[in-house]
Amino acid sequence: MRKRGSRLLILVAVLLGAGCYDSGAQRSAIVRYVEANGSGDLSTVTPDGIRQWFSVRPVLATKIAEMCQPLFSASQADWPHSAEGSVCFAARWAAPIPLIKADPRVW
């Protein structure tokens, strides 16, 4: 009985791990760029993990958010659930709000 329970536990762990893997993650230039900047393998990271990673790298988050801007309007329905979509949404969330420049003229 104990052996059967451990086999079932291993099977569930393997299936959950396979369900989180994004096989198309390496095709995206944005994902490759983020991984080259130290994030590690993004095909298995959760969106919250990506957000936390970007939150301590605001300059990179701003650059990635700018790279992703054209993709938001041209994306497919399942794009937010891909590695590229998760990276873009996390970068948009973590990028600091740009400063508004005041009008120097005096009225």
Q: Which residue range is the domain that position 64 belongs to?
A: 2-94
3-state secondary structure of 44: coil
Instruction: Flag whether 102 is in a domain.
Output: no
Q: What is the pLDDT of residue 17?
A: 47
Is 103 within the bounds of a domain?
A: no
- Amino acid symbol at 45: V
Q: How far apart are CA 97 and CA 107, in angstroms?
A: 28
Q: How many domains does the chain have?
A: 1
Q: Can you state the angle between helices 58-73 and 83-94, rounded to 10 degrees?
A: 120
Residue 75 lies in a domain: yes
Residue-wise pLDDT tens digits, 64-92 = 999 998 888 777 767 778 888 899 999 99
Is 105 within a domain? no
84 by DSSP, 3-state: which?
helix
Residue 107 lies in a domain: no
Is 56 a member of any domain? yes
- Domain-embedded: residue 24: yes
57, part of any domain:
yes
pLDDT of residue 64: 94
Largest distance between two CA atoms of the chain:
84
Question: Would the pLDDT of 23 be above 80?
Answer: no
DSSP run (H or E) holding 15: helix 2-20
